[in-house]
Each structure stands twice: as structure tokens, then as C-alpha cells.
Amino acid sequence: MATARSSGDRAQFINSALQIVPEDFFTVRVDHKISANDSLFGTYLYDDTDYTQPDSFNNDIINSHIRRQTVVLEESHTFSPALVNTARFGYKPLACHPILSQLGRLIPQRNDTSLGSTTGQTASRVFIGSGMTGMQGGVGSASSYVHAWNSYQGYDDAFLTHGAHTLKFGAGVERMQYNFLTFQNPGGRWNFGGLTRFLSNQPTHFEAGLPVTISPREVRQTLFGAYIQDDWRIRSNLTLNLGLRYEMATVLNDAQGKITSLVNISDPRAHVRDAVHRPHPSAPRL
């Protein structure tokens, strides 16, 4: 259903979009008693979702696809009635491909490259100021994205009972890998300051991403953590809960070495490097 409400030389187009979101989801769990002192636990989760709906003008179908998985494996070992240790490993991949991709199913002309403003591309996007809804252009003209996230995790926890003390201590590490690719306005975008400039064909500027300059980014970071906790039962009616935890994360870095940042706020230009921020050798040490 679509309606239009007019006021003077403007009209508001309202489209009741049909959202189609099929999803496949399942999870599996396995428990196994290896011996009197050892037990094993494992689980696997799978979730796949494909999302489609028309754009704001009901001219095209926009598609996003997300798939996430989780794998967990844990082993518990009993050294004695007073000491138990658990070790866990986890892996979680998340893939988003594509995100906001145009399928071109509603209007054939959206696939016509002869209407494009850049070579080999379809019609450009059009943005008009004063709060008016922008036109998304032809298929592949609007920005789209590819995301991939991998998380590798390892943890070890120990539980020790000694007299009036119940101790829990352990450590963990997580390695995070984030790969993404952005296709920024490959078909270009015409920008108009308002309706008057649009009707008189006076764009303020034109912008477009250059396909040959598009390359992936591969962001990496590692998180470490360790803790100790003591539930100290001083009296039958008094227990102290004491604990200490330390965590640190490494500086974000790009495996492609394409991150740009300002080392000093007064720098005339950004520096290309492999890390988000690394102090300049001449910078004062705090």
C-alpha cells in the first residue's frame, strides 16, 4: 500500500513495506563423563538470517544476510574434593554479507548502466536538502558493506576450598579479528541544497567512491584478563567477599597497515600506520 499527502509543491510518499525475514536456527549440546575425575561438555549454535524489504520509494529490494555460529568446549577435572579445575575454549564466527545490497527486482531500469553518472555504474543516488528523502539510485549505486568477525577465546578457572576460605581464580584470553569492506557510493551521489536547486538542476556537489581504491581492512586486537576471589567465612554469620581482577587489551592494529590517525592534534595530515594510535618517538613520555 502506498499513499501520498501533498502540501504546496511537496508530497510525502508513504510505503507499507513487506519485510521477509526467514531464519534457520538450531543448537546442539553434548555431555560426556570421561572418567571419575574428568567430564566433557560441548555445544554448537547456528543462526542464519536473510532479510529483505523494499527501499523507501518501493523501487528496489534491499537485502542483508547475517550468519552467526558459536562453538564451546569445556573440560572439568577434579584433583581432590577441595580442588576442581575447568578449561574452556570458544570460537564465534559472525558473517554479514551482504549488508544493504540492492537486488533490482522491482524496476528493470535500475539495472541500466546507460543512466549512470560514472563509467559502468547504474543511476547515481540523489539527495535533496530540507529533510527530503533521498533516492537510492540504481542497483549497486548505494553503499553496501561486508563484515566478518572472528572471536577465539580460552579460559581456565580453578576452585579451591581451604579451611574457612573458598577461592576461585583463573585467567582468560580472547583474540578478535574484524574484517570489513565498504563499497562507498560506487555509483556516485548528486547533492542538492534544497528543492529549488533540484528543480533548477543546480547540484551543490557530486561525490563517488573509486572502485579501484576499495580494499579490505583487517582489524586485530587481543584481550587478556586474570582474577582471584576469596569468600572468607570469618564467622557463622559473617562472610567477606574479597576479589581482584585485571584486564588489558592490546592497541587496535590493521593487518593491512592502512589505518590513518593523527599522532598529534596539530599535525597537518594523518599518518598511515598499522595501529590506531602509537606515540610518536618525539612525543613526551607520561
Range of the domain at 138: 18-250
Q: How confident is the model at residue 108 (pLDDT cuts 50, 70, 90)?
A: confident
Number of domains in the chain: 1
Return the higher-pLDDT residue of 269 and 250. Answer: 250
Q: Which has the closest alpha carbon to 219: 154, 275, 172?
A: 275
Dihedral Cα 265, 269, 275, 279, nearest 10 deg: -40
Question: Quick check: is 87 in a domain?
Answer: yes
Question: Quick check: is 270 in a domain?
Answer: no
Question: Quick check: is 273 in a domain?
Answer: no
Question: Quick check: is 171 in a domain?
Answer: yes
Question: Quick check: is 256 in a domain?
Answer: no
pLDDT (tens digit, 9 = 90+) per residue, 66-102? Answer: 999 999 999 999 999 999 999 999 999 998 877 778 7
Question: Quick check: is 260 in a domain?
Answer: no
Among 46-55, 154-163, 213-222, the least confident range: 213-222
According to the model, what pLDDT value does residue 109 have?
77
549440546: which residue's cell?
Answer: 29
Residue 3 has pLDDT above 60, yes or no: no
Question: Quick check: is 222 in a domain?
Answer: yes
Domain with residue 145: its CATH number is 2.40.170.20
pLDDT (tens digit, 9 = 90+) per residue, 54-70? Answer: 877 777 788 889 999 99
Ramachandran class of 185: left when φ > 0, alpha when ψ lies in -120 to 50, beta otherwise? left
Task: Indicate the residue type of 111.
Answer: N
Overall average pLDDT of the 43-47 stretch: 97
Question: Quick check: is 277 in a domain?
Answer: no
Among 139-143, 161-165, 190-194, 252-256, the least confident range: 139-143
Residue 6 has pLDDT above 70, yes or no: no
Residue 281 has pLDDT above 70, yes or no: no
According to the model, what pLDDT value does residue 286 have?
36
User: pTM to 2 decimals?
Assistant: 0.75
Cα gap 282→266, rounded to integer Å: 14
